[in-house]
Chains A and B, each alone.
Chain A
């Protein structure tokens, strides 16, 4: 009885985590370059009350034993890297990656983080930076007299300068890819860090070796499907409710057991 109480409680906790994940996905449904998460669960240990195959008498064995499970625990929360919708913005420094790959961002501590959010800006020194002011790698500086910026699908950045007819190439945006993007560690601000599970980044030119191409003037929206999340939410909420009913049932039974004594 008490066992069932705790088992069902672990079920309620698991569904709470599920709702937490769904809530974060919904909260970020309009975040550029956001990738939705999914919670994975695993069953806990089992108490074996009767072992399968143990001798029942000296000539027979027990065909199926009895194993009572003790509930559930979260196994992993992993990111799902499907592509979001591409939206046309017309901004010169907005870029979406069509296909696999990440932009490389230099963090203030010198380490490299990776992002799919290509809504880039220029800072005071003309460097191409993220919305948080972190420069992308390899560093690209836009001259102050540039009248227009052009980003090719292979990441070549060229500018038109005042008084010149020919365009000048100022750098190339390189992309990075991972064997297992789902293993990346999300650190917020649309940034990801590599882990043992994701493998190290392989950098390369956009459009080569399976890397995607860059689309100037577009941004990738989040890949959250609001409809799907609503369905998950309803399912988790009901599962939460049903687990609470199991707790109520074990409580009722305990109460009846207690009532046996006058």
Chain B
């Protein structure tokens, strides 16, 4: 078979993967603290040095858009949003993870936890909130109950561009486990949540683009198939 057909097929596969990513963004249009992913168009033939080499994907440019989502007011005392770059620090079974999802709750032992029950980390480990009063969280993350400070919510940031993996549940982890964290400059806003940064209009246009691209590649595959069929069936005819 010829390289052109494989190139076209590679286009199909890349359109498919792009649609997977777009669908995930659209599905998370209402997920607090979600950051959209994108796969950019790159030449799939760039790596083909000669016709015997199949084209490869290594030039699919995948990236996560870490821009801030809009802040939505909820008035819940345990909802916090980050204004600026940075992450909350969460203790998970997979080790320390980072999130922008600030819809916190209280665990059975009075500890501040995420919706999945993972402990939110403060400057001195987890934060225990005594069960007798109004919780106030300052811009620096200081949690106080009835005016008594009980802990400070930690924030952390990483060197940019971020090299973070997504774990699902709004959690991120640095690709390099030894990557040093830097101080976050984000302010914490109590009673607000950061909405998803997915832009539906942009995703819709990417969706159209991906499906048309798929269609074109499928047509190309069909054309190659026609050519091969002619070579096999018509060439011998007199």
Measuring CB to CB, which residues of chain A are less than 8 angstroms from any residue of chain B? 1, 3-5, 7-8, 10-11, 14-15, 18, 38-46, 48-53, 56, 62-72, 75-76, 78, 80-82, 100, 177-180, 182-183, 196-200, 202, 209-210, 235-236, 238-239, 242-243, 245-246, 249-250, 252-253, 256-257, 259-260
Evaluate whether A11 and B28 lie within 8 angstroms (CB atoms) in the complex, with A179-B110, A180-B78, A250-B19 already known.
yes
Residues from chain A with Cβ under 8 Å of B101 in the complex: 42
Q: Point out the residues of chain B lying under 8 angstroms from A68, CB to CB.
A: 17, 20-21, 24, 37
B168 touches A182 (CB 8 A): no
25 A-B residue pairs with CB within 8 Å: A4-B16, A7-B27, A15-B30, A40-B32, A40-B103, A42-B115, A43-B31, A43-B34, A66-B17, A67-B37, A69-B25, A69-B166, A100-B134, A178-B131, A180-B105, A182-B76, A182-B78, A197-B107, A198-B106, A210-B134, A242-B29, A243-B27, A246-B26, A250-B19, A253-B16
Which residues of chain A are near B58, meaning CB under 8 Å?
56, 62
Checking B29, B131, B225 against A179 with a beta-carbon cut-off of 8 angstroms, the contacting residue is B131
Cβ-based interface call for B218 (8 A): yes
Interface centre among A49, A51, A242 (most CB of B within 10 A): A242
Establish whether residues B131 and A200, one from each chain, have CB atoms under 8 Å apart when the complex forms: yes
B200's partner among A18, A242, A257 (CB-CB below 8 A) is A242
- Residues on A with C-beta less than 8 A from B167 are 45-46
Interface segment out of the listed B85-93, B180-188, B206-214:
B206-214
B135 and A249 within 8 A (CB)? no
* Any A CB within 8 A of the CB of B45: no
A78 touches B176 (CB 8 A): no
List A contacts of B37 (CB < 8 A). 67-69
A42-B115, A51-B175 are contacts. A1–B19 as well, Cβ < 8 Å? yes
Q: Given contacts A40-B32, A242-B200, are A65 and B62 in contact (CB under 8 A)?
A: yes
Alpha-carbon distance between A209 and B105 when the two chains are bound, in angstroms? 23
Among candidates B30, B131, B215, residue contacting A236 with C-beta atoms closer than 8 Å: B30
Output the nearest chain B residue to A18 by Cβ-Cβ distance. Answer: B30
CA separation between A245 and B25, bound complex, in Å? 13
- A residues less than 8 Å from B21 (CB atoms): 68-69
- Number of interface residues, chain B, beta carbon within 8 A: 71
Known: A76-B103, A250-B19, A253-B16. A43 touches B24 (CB 8 A): yes
Q: Is the CB of A72 within 8 A of B31?
A: yes
Cβ-defined contact, A4 with B20, below 8 A: yes
Asked if residues A3 and B135 are in contact (CB atoms below 8 Å), the reply is: no
- Answer whether residue B68 sits at the interface, using C-beta atoms and an 8 A cutoff: no
Nearest chain B CB to A261's CB is how many angstroms away? 9
161-204 of chain B: CB within 8 A of chain A: 163, 165-170, 175-176, 200, 203-204
Among A8, A41, A66, A245, the residue within 8 A (CB) of B31 is A41
Asked if B65 CB lies within 8 Å of chain A CBs, one says: no
Q: B135-177: contact bitstring with A at CB < 8 Å (1 yes, 0 no)?
A: 1000000000110000000000000000101111110000110
Chain B min CB distance to A16 (Å): 11
Task: Look across to chain B and name the residue whose beta carbon is closest to the beta carbon of A82.
Answer: B75
Residue ID in chain B nearest A70 by CB atoms: B24
Give the chain A neighbours of B115 by CB distance below 8 A.
Answer: 40, 42, 75-76
Bound together, the chains give a CA A14 to CA B69 distance in angstroms of 19
Residue of B28, B77, B132 most packed against chain A (CB within 10 A):
B28
B residues less than 8 Å from A238 (CB atoms): 200
Known: A1-B19, A66-B17, A242-B29. 10 other contacts (CB 8 A): A42-B101, A43-B169, A62-B58, A69-B21, A178-B131, A179-B131, A180-B77, A180-B105, A210-B134, A210-B146
The verdict on B80 contacting chain A, using a C-beta distance below 8 Å, is no
For the complex, give the distance between the alpha carbons of A180 and B44 in Å. 53
Return the 4 tightest CB-CB contacts between A and B, nearest first: A11-B27, A199-B131, A196-B108, A69-B24
Query: What is the CB-to-nearest-CB distance from A259 to chain B, in angstroms, rounded to a whole number?
Result: 7
Contacts of A180 in B (CB 8 A): 77-78, 105-106, 129, 135
Does A11 contact B165, Cβ atoms closer than 8 Å? no
Contact B210 A197 (CB under 8 A): no
Question: How long is the Cα–Cα vector from A164 to B13 in the complex, in angstroms?
Answer: 90
Docked pose: A18 CA to B133 CA in angstroms: 31
B106 touches A179 (CB 8 A): yes
Is B7 close to A, CB under 8 A? no
